[in-house]
Chains A and B, each alone.
Chain A
Amino acid sequence: MTLKRLSLKKILLCACITTSFSALASEHTVTTKYGNIQVNDNVSRVVVLSEDALDSAIALGVKPLGAVATRGGDSVAEYIQERANGVKIVGTSRQNNLEAIAAQRPDLILASASLSQDKYNILSKIAPTVVPISPGMVSDGWITLARVYANALNKSAEMDTILNNIAEREENLKAAITTHVPEGKRTAALARWMPQGPIVMSSQIFASDVLASTGFVINDAGVIKEGRPHSSPLSLENLSKVDSDWLFLATLNSEGKDALNAAKSSPSFSRLNVVKENKVITVNGQLWTSAAGPLAAHAILDDIEAVINTKMK
């Protein structure tokens, strides 16, 4: 009951916290999952609570004060570590620490699309909290998210340039791939290996999007049904369905070789044509199955470029 009585005071108080750093500045509107919110045009203290938001913010030149640790580690993902040097960890992807977030005194919080209402209610008292409307499992969903975060940071134009650059680079790589790899030899699957069978990634997750835009034809073995989760374990008997011209094998270990060896020790895996032709490429699972955003796109394109240089020429 005491809580209720104080609510008016709290609203005033929060207004104090959030505006104290940037009084007199103009604001713009951001559409979020929990309604339209007003965000200051010149935010400087940003906390990001998802890997996509971290990626987008850093790509736009905004270094957040706090971020959540990537899964499988106690700091941010490897590919972005250098640029996110000095960013304070305010929780994990499982549970973020509200006090640590508040302690940063942010003026903007960029959260993931799956943030729950209860968490939002509290976070929005600390600072305007941007929870994008989940685009769902669709192609190029990550671009939608990146644009929302860019809009929140009032840097939409910069994001357009960045996205155009990525599209341009994708086109260049696509041209390279089409010259080196004949038509009909460009199917690719993205999977993780588990002893009881592979886990096939949907053709609609971020990494698949990037792969597809460089000219690969994504084969998700037809196991990911509409609206289903982004990955699905496959029976070993159906392994031949992921047999493509290229297989990107994601691992959460730092050493992809172990995963490849573990997979190769399984006779059903080593029977695949793609394995026999040595066209299995181990990739970092943190980057390929967990991250999303412009910098991650560039990192994945780096990987693809390496493949073109080593395996296609």
Chain B
Amino acid sequence: MLKWFSVTPAQRPLPSVLMSALFVLTFCCVLSLLLGAGGLAPHASLLTLLGHGSADAEFTVFHLRLTRTLVGLFVGLTLGIAGALMQAVARNPLAEPGLLGVSAGSSFAVAMALVLGASTATLTVGIAQIGALIGCLCVIGTAKMQGQRNDPIRLVLAGAALSSLLLAMTSLILLFDQRAADEIRFWVTGSVAGRDTSTLISVLPSMLLALICILYTAKPLASLALGERVAIGLGHKPRRIRGIVIIAVALLVGAATAIAGPVAFIGLVVPFAARALVGPDIRRTLWLCLPLGPIIVITADIISRLVAQPAEMPLGVLTAIVGAPVLLFIVRSHRLPTL
């Protein structure tokens, strides 16, 4: 283990890093089953896991906590990968779905749906995905205009302007419908509690589509990371790759947002951590993002259950409070790395 720290991240063997991450993830999942805001103590939960619990305890552990752990797993997975893809395609370590207005796009679409009569309990995934896609398209528009000349700030500025616009539009439509306003103020803080496993199944088709997109673009994306000319020289079409990746990101973020609401900064923190562990190669970081995303979301969710008992702290608030320092740390590191 100690040997890791003596070599550069790029030299670390991926399988062993991946295995340790998976180990940590398993640990987090078990912890997530053991801890909660309710009266069920950890050792009682453990007994329940081993098959010696009361009906109530079984319900709490196997239904409530297992479901939210699964949802956390899914949300972390999608947001982590979406962040990594977005950063790779924008060649910008600050590119994060939340910062770039993709989540704001989803929120806007959800608010629109709520006003038109949907309820947060019966929200369809498609709506949030369409909103995310709109957000992404605006980002592409920006990227086109700004030319992306090694200037990470510009994209973020555009994203922030876009987010504030979308948020204001959301407030506007909520002005006319207070029921929606009342529902959405709980939705925007993000949470993985009380979700149904059936919603996970309902996003499966779009996830498959996203997976195909990712598999198709993984290699070209890695060459794109070396520069547009290199990618063209290797016979790839950068424009098409970007388009496909953006669609994949929209599908991923839209699905995660539909299920858990806007959960900020995961897309920023996860790729950052992955790069710190295995170096900047997208083919390596993408693999590592798979376990890292869920680790962070599930850990945040566990904390969110414990700090405000018997209620829970909203997950989105917690990830913002955890994620923003990481953003600051990236900025404070000697120079902004370009991808």
Chain A residues in the interface with B (C-beta under 8 A): 71-73, 94, 193-197, 221-223, 232-238, 240-241, 252-253, 258, 262, 265-268, 271
Contacts and interface: CB of A to CB of B under 8 A. Distances in A.
Given A194-B186, A236-B193, A241 B178 contact: no
Contact of A268 (B36, B39, B59): B59
A195 to B, nearest CB: 5
Interface in B180-212: 182-183, 186, 191, 193-196
B119 A238 contact: no
Nearest to A232: B311
A71 B178 contact: yes
21 contacts: A193-B121, A194-B194, A197-B193, A197-B312, A221-B310, A223-B310, A233-B186, A234-B310, A234-B311, A235-B305, A235-B312, A236-B64, A237-B37, A237-B64, A237-B305, A252-B182, A253-B179, A266-B194, A267-B59, A268-B63, A271-B59
Contacts of A268: 59, 63-64, 194
A197 B194 contact: yes
B309 interface: yes
Contacts of B36: 235, 237
Given A71-B178, A262-B119, A265-B121, A241 B196 contact: no
B312 A267 contact: no
A234 B186 CA distance: 12
Nearest to A269: B194
Nearest to A93: B178
B147 interface: no
Nearest to A222: B310
B59 A241 contact: no
A253 B59 CA distance: 30
A196 B301 CA distance: 13
B123 to A, nearest CB: 9
B310 A241 contact: yes
A237 B59 CA distance: 9
Contact of A72 (B65, B122, B182): B182
B179 A252 contact: yes
Interface of B: 36-40, 56, 59-60, 63-65, 119-122, 175, 177-179, 182-183, 186, 191, 193-196, 305, 309-312
Contacts of A73: 178
A233 B63 CA distance: 20
Contacts of B186: 194, 196, 233
Contacts of B38: 235, 237-238
B186 to A, nearest CB: 5
A72 B182 CA distance: 9
> 3 nearest interchain CB pairs?
A237-B38, A235-B37, A262-B121
B121 A195 contact: yes
B40 A237 contact: yes
A48 B36 CA distance: 46
Given A234-B310, A262-B121, A196 B59 contact: no
Contact of B311 (A94, A223, A262, A266): A223
Contacts of B122: 262
B310 A266 contact: no
Given A266-B194, A266-B196, A195 B120 contact: yes
Contacts of A194: 120, 183, 186, 194
Contacts of A267: 59, 63
Contacts of B59: 267-268, 271
A232 B37 CA distance: 14
A240 B193 contact: no
Contacts of B312: 196-197, 233, 235
A236 B191 CA distance: 12
Q: Which of A222, A234, A236, A268 has the most CB of B within 10 A?
A: A236
B309 A235 contact: yes
A72 to B, nearest CB: 4
Contacts of A258: 119
A72 B179 contact: yes
A278 to B, nearest CB: 20
Nearest to B68: A236
A196 B195 CA distance: 7
A135 B177 CA distance: 30
Nearest to B260: A196
Contacts of B63: 267-268
Contact of B194 (A196, A223, A252, A271): A196
B69 to A, nearest CB: 13
A258 B183 CA distance: 14
Contacts of A271: 59
A177 B70 CA distance: 45
Contacts of A233: 186, 311-312
Contacts of B191: 196
A195 B310 contact: no
Given A72-B182, A194-B186, A232-B311, A237 B194 contact: no
A252 B40 CA distance: 33
A253 B312 CA distance: 25
Q: Which of B60, B64, B183, B193 has the most CB of A within 10 A?
A: B193
Contacts of B182: 71-72, 252
B117 to A, nearest CB: 9
Nearest to A254: B179
Contacts of B193: 196-197, 235-236
Q: Which of B64, B177, B311 has the most CB of A within 10 A?
A: B311
B196 A235 contact: no
A73 B182 CA distance: 12
Contact of A240 (B37, B56, B120, B305): B56
